[in-house]
Amino acid sequence: MKDQLEPDEMNSNLPTTSPSSTLLLEVSGIEAAVCADIARRQKHGLAKYGVTVADNPLPLRPWLQHAYEESLDHCVYLKRAMAQMDASDPPVVYPSSNPAA
Q: What is the pLDDT of residues 9-45, one digit of tens each?
A: 544 554 544 444 555 566 679 999 999 999 999 999 9
Interval 44-69: pLDDT, tens: 999 999 999 999 999 999 999 999 99
27, part of any domain? yes
- Smallest CA-to-CA distance from 2 within 18, 21, 25, 19 is with 25
97, part of any domain? no
Interval 76-94: pLDDT, tens: 999 999 999 999 887 778 8
pLDDT number for residue 3: 47
Q: How many domains does the chain have?
A: 2
63 shares a domain with 20:
no
46 shares a domain with 8:
yes
pLDDT number for residue 46: 95
pLDDT number for residue 67: 96
Q: What is the CA radius of gyration of the chain?
A: 20
DSSP state, 99? T
51 shares a domain with 79:
no
43 shares a domain with 23:
yes
Residue 7 binned pLDDT confidence (cut-offs 50, 70, 90)? very low
pLDDT number for residue 17: 45
101, part of any domain? no
* Residue ranges in 11-59 assigned as alpha helix (H): 29-49
78 shares a domain with 41:
no
